[in-house]
Amino acid sequence: MRLALLLPLGLMAACSPQSLADGVTDRAARSVTVQVLQAYMTAPQAEIAADCVLGNADIAERRALARDVGVRPGTLTSQNVTNIIRRPGTGACLRSRGVTLGGA
């Protein structure tokens, strides 16, 4: 009986307002990142590369990317994606997933 009462409480904790907000931010940032990357690679590669970019972006960077959802990404957004791509961790992720940039 106690377990039955505790299970819903555990599920509600997993759906905290902050985790919901972070999920929305991450989905919006991913959408924008894919859009930026599709200017430089095929759509399937952009999808894979977006995982690497967002995996190496901090929450402030993901929020900044998410702000461009629903509009054409501007120069600053493209530069933010480029800065994240230049990180060693992002490059390693891209190489491990078989994504090349600039035709290299």
Name, in order, each residue with C-beta under 8 angstroms of 35's C-beta and a sequence gap of 6 or more.
73
Per-residue pLDDT of the chain (104 residues; tens, 9 = 90+): 443 434 444 445 556 777 777 788 899 999 999 999 999 999 999 999 999 999 999 999 999 999 988 778 788 999 999 999 999 999 999 999 999 876 44
Contact 80, 64 (CB under 8 A): yes
Helix residue spans in 15-55 (DSSP H): 17-37, 43-55
* Total-model pTM: 0.78
Provide the token pair at 47. Answer: 């999808």
Write down the pLDDT at residue 104: 43
Nearest to 33 by CA among 18, 48, 15: 48
